[in-house]
Homo-oligomer: A and B are copies of this chain.
């Protein structure tokens, strides 16, 4: 039987050129984050199913890859899906970080500045450019309630984005507390704050008219909608509020290094944010290069004491797509092919290769039949070998 050779539905094989680009991007990000005092950790790809399903995962829970129980634990016939699974693949890195911190906090510095880089899995309907396994790349600062955390993140992630060659980007910043004030002071009930946010978040896509329509479908009055839309033009300096002062301080300090501006329409999807929220946007394309915010309550379900936290996730897969479309070449090391034709020259070929090892050279040995040598040399050139040493012509 010849087996199917395609990767599983919605997943991808990564070829050498793409992998070199991914490694280059990861190395640049890790290097930048390390310089700013972040250290990398890792959690397993699988978590207990109870942990995943009792989370605030929202939509992601419907896309969970669950793992079948094994051995005696699997009792068949089974009636209910709940009885079949004890583990699941993680759908993000934030929930595992919360568990990790609770499990290991006695061994971690305070505050703790974490880098997480890893795959996550979501059983999304397959579509172009969206995969069921994809890489996330997060930095988080746990245990610090002052804005020094926001500022450290906002001088770290944009630095990595800059080093990756992106220009013309702007950091947009807002605050969940300001958003809530805006909604409540427009006469809208605090109880529907989250659902109002979901609509406001679509401003980019559906425009003011679309937002107005959707809000009125949520039984918000015309007067309230007018008030809300008006408040979205408010300038930060007009707001007399602690949150506004914090955002202003962040902007004052960060703006010396990266473009940053207040955006009262910025919402960010996740319901767990409690304070500052931010996103890196570029004038060159739609969507964001990364985003994050403060989430001071998320860790509480694992702890008895409240722990403040701020996180920033870089859009790794999006960055890869953008760099691929720029046709960026990352392999700059000199490549040398060492070619021999007769077996008694193999020893000499290995000698040449070994003498070049460790000298910032890529070497590779090729055995070629004498009558194919011309064709082979052409192919090696096409594969990027700039030096070709044919050992047969040297003194053996």
Q: What copy number does this chain have within its complex? A: 2
* A5 interface hit (Cβ, 8 Å): yes
Contact of A70 among B113, B123, B147, B357 (CB under 8 A): B123
A81 within 8 A of B: yes
The answer to whether B37 and A14 touch across the interface, beta carbons within 8 angstroms, is no
The answer, yes or no, to whether A39 is at the interface (CB within 8 Å) is yes
- Within A20-49, which residues are at the interface with B (CB < 8 Å)? 20, 23, 30, 34-37, 39-48
- In the complex formed, the residue of B with least CB distance to A103 is B5
A357 adjacent to B41 (CB under 8 Å): no
Asked whether A354 is an interface residue with its Cβ less than 8 Å from the other chain, the reply is yes
Interface status of A343 (Cβ within 8 A of chain B) = yes
- The segment from A197-205, A266-274, A309-317, A362-370 found at the interface with B is A362-370
Residue interface mask A1-18, B partner, CB < 8 A = 1: 111111110011111100
B100, A13: Cβ atoms closer than 8 Å: yes
Within residues 355 to 386 of chain A, which ones have a CB less than 8 A from any CB in chain B?
A: 357-358, 360-367, 379, 383
Which residues does chain B contribute within 8 Å of A70, judged by CB atoms? 65-66, 123
Which residues in B have their C-beta under 8 angstroms from that of A42? 13-14, 19
Q: A68-B68, A252-B347, A364-B37 are in contact. Are A99 and B3 (CB under 8 A)?
A: yes
Tell me the chain A residues, 39-83 only, with Cβ under 8 Å from chain B. 39-48, 50-51, 54, 65-68, 70, 74, 76-81
Q: Are B7 and A151 in contact (CB under 8 A)?
A: no
Q: How large is the interface on A (under 10, 10 to 19, 20 to 34, 35 or more residues)?
A: 35 or more
What residues of chain B lie closer than 8 Å to A102, measured between beta carbons? 5
For residue A322, CB closer than 8 A to chain B, the reply is no
A207 at the interface (CB under 8 A from B): no
Q: How far is the CA of A130 from the CA of B240 in the complex (A)?
A: 58
Given contacts A40-B20, A119-B45, A148-B367, are A79 and B81 in contact (CB under 8 A)? no
- Decide if A54 touches B146 in the complex (CB within 8 Å): no
Between-chain CB contacts (< 8 Å), 6 pairs = A7-B44, A7-B103, A16-B41, A19-B41, A65-B67, A109-B379
Residues of A within 8 A of B (CB): 1-8, 11-16, 19-20, 23, 30, 34-37, 39-48, 50-51, 54, 65-68, 70, 74, 76-81, 84-85, 87, 89, 99-100, 102-104, 107-109, 111, 113, 119, 121, 123, 133, 144, 146-148, 151-152, 155, 159, 249, 252-253, 256-257, 301-302, 304, 333, 335, 343, 346-347, 349-351, 353-354, 357-358, 360-367, 379, 383
